[in-house]
Amino acid sequence: MAEATDVFIAGTGPVGAAYARIILQTNPALRVTMADVGSQDGPVIGVHHKNSIKYQKDIDQFVNVIKGAIQPISIPPQDTLISNLGGQGWRPPEGEALIFHGSNPNQQPLLNLKGSGITRAVGGMGTHWTCNCPVPHENERRQLESVIPGDVLTGLLGEAGTLLNINDDQFDKSVRQIVVKKSLESFGDRVQKMALAVKRRTDNPDYVTWTGPDTILGDVVGNPNFKLLTEHLVVKVVISEGDPGMISGVSLRDLTKKENSERLVTAKAVILCCGAIPTPQILFNSGIRPDPLGRYLSEQSLTFCQVVLRQANIDAIPRGPPWGEFEPVGDAILKHIEDYQGDPLPIPFTDPDPQLMMTYSPERPWHVQIHHDAFSYGEIGPRADSRVVVDIRCFGPQEIQRDNRVTFPPQDLFRQWVPGIQDIYGMPQPTFEVRRSKSDHDNDQKMMAEMTQIADLLGSYLPGSYPQFMEPGLALHITGTTRIGTSANESVADANSKVHGFKNLWVGGNGCIPDATACNPTRTSVAIAIKGARAVLQYLRQ
């Protein structure tokens, strides 16, 4: 007899957690089952790993956590070539490509999002994300507001802010934040405090609690009707034989068992929110292949550099009254000077990192982050005192094009061509076909120019972290692959994130966003999910 649940949620990241929270908070009697292909890394479901004290003491070490968490999506044959291998080492015959998990002979390198990746763990990327949650500019949500009215969307974004525990004042007592803001006075009001999903701890204000899926789930994990399945792959959704518009459940594979250990879990409502690539991958593998699936893919360009703060900017920090702008941190500066008389820097070792941004504007259509955080790149190592290093990251939107997409060749046909071309979990291999337009390139160049202008005001480039364009896909902000909309010809799901043509199948995540955004998309995705969760509840009441 098949297992049964009321609501099945595939994916345990921030969006999946939002669905579970809204549904169970509204109706605690519903049975909700969540599944994730990854394992649970600790006793708390989906906790943000950056909450660990050791990483807050040394944020640069968190780079290795992110690197270890993200798995690449599509590796073209050229990337598997070992050109300096000794002559006795095995290599594929000339003209043949390597075929192993993750390698994709059909991937054209120039069309690839080489930097893109997937985090397969309970909590997903919510276990290591930056928690940056700005409200998108009106130009970044025009398509979305044609689906969800502006006043409704504004309310949903506010609710998402509450659910994610977003604040912009938790780093106000940062010496470096004051230094950076003062150094960028020429940019005026464009320099703003970053809206972050974070809260400073009350037991020890030197540290903060970053929002993870555990924060979003809240106390629903204590509900006996909530069930979490770890290391379970959702292979496909199962369409009802008697009603092609109904999903009867999902086919699950327990990865801890032998292969082909699939089982059916029946559900009244199914929600797929596994990420902008795995979600359309599951739909494709289920035989649900509308033409917009995987299309309209938009990913942000990314520029990056690190600077060591200018000597004059450090010298401008007062060592005593009058404090001026440094009044909020005056006591901390004095105490550090008294406690560490041999330290040439008047910046406390526990000084919070700067967290500032410049948001999108029609004149400057990109998003700038001026802070110090950990990504899968930009590690300082022992070369510089972290207290004087600032990161500058700029994110540029991509023009929406129907033919920018991720495809999933049918496995049965693939086996006739090249046996075994699947991803590492035996699912249809994603292949990217993404091109940036001329206007994208022009905008990217202007964005780079402003980043260097900001850097020049702040200080000198850290050797090895000079201004550079990062690998396509490294922003990890893919949108559009399961976009919501009013027309089945141009979207995968409706305004409530319900898949067109189905009564009880929903999608969630950044892939639902129909716009090309420059800002971080999580807040918008959670806002869309809140609306979707209420549609699920309404459906179940019927």
Torsions phi, psi for 399 (to 5 deg): -55, 130
Q: Is 477 noted as a catalytic residue in this protein?
A: yes
Give residues with Cβ within 8 angstroms of 45, minimum separation 6: 12, 122, 123, 213, 214, 217, 221, 228
pLDDT computed for residue 95 by the predictor: 74
322 cis-preceded (ω within 30 degrees of 0): yes
Output the pTM of the full model.
Answer: 0.95
Q: Which of 439, 444, 536, 518 is nearest to 479 (CA)?
A: 518
Give, for all 542 residues of the chain, the pLDDT tens digit. 579 999 999 999 999 999 999 999 999 999 999 999 999 988 999 999 999 999 999 888 898 899 999 999 999 887 778 888 898 898 888 877 776 666 888 899 999 999 999 999 999 999 999 999 999 999 999 999 999 999 999 999 999 999 999 999 999 999 999 999 999 999 999 999 999 999 999 999 999 999 999 999 999 999 999 999 999 999 999 999 999 999 999 999 999 988 667 899 999 999 999 999 999 999 999 999 999 999 999 999 999 999 999 999 999 999 999 999 999 999 999 999 999 999 999 999 999 999 999 999 999 999 999 999 876 566 555 568 889 999 999 999 999 999 999 999 765 444 444 555 789 998 999 999 999 999 999 999 999 999 999 999 999 999 989 999 999 999 999 999 999 999 999 999 999 999 999 999 999 999 999 999 999 999 999 999 999 999 999 999 98
* CA 297 – CA 516 distance, rounded (Å): 9
Tokens of 233: 């792959």
Q: Is the dihedral of CA 462, 458, 337, 203 positive or negative?
A: negative
Can you give the pLDDT at residue 421? Answer: 73
| Token output for 51 | 């909450």
Per DSSP, what are the bridge partners of residue 505?
270
Catalytic option among 104, 404, 510, 520: 520
Please state, as a whole number, how many other Cβ atoms lie within 10 Å of the Cβ of residue 462: 19
Residue 184: its pLDDT value, please? 97
296 to 293, 407, 508, 518: CA distances (angstroms): 9, 12, 16, 15
Three-state secondary-structure class, residue 59: helix
- CATH architecture of the region 1-79+98-136+146-165+214-298+406-429+479-542: 3-Layer(bba) Sandwich (3.50)
What is residue 38's three-state secondary structure?
A: coil
Does 520 qualify as catalytic in the annotation? yes
pLDDT of amino acid 447: 98
- Written as one letter, the residue type at 292 is P
- What's the CA gap between 116 and 488, in Å, rounded? 28
Contact 346, 336 (CB under 8 A): yes
Q: ∠ at Cα 235 (231, 239), nearest 5°?
A: 135
> Residue 345's closest CA among 360, 358, 332?
332
Domain extents in the chain: 1-79+98-136+146-165+214-298+406-429+479-542, 166-210+301-396+437-471
Written as one letter, the residue type at 115 is G
Q: What does the alpha-carbon distance between residue 197 and residue 166 come to, in Å, rounded to a whole number?
A: 4
**Predicted pLDDT at 379:** 59
Among residues 128, 232, 336, 477, the one annotated as catalytic is 477
**Which residues are within 8 A (CB) of 340 and not within 5 positions of it... i.e. 6 or more apart?**
349
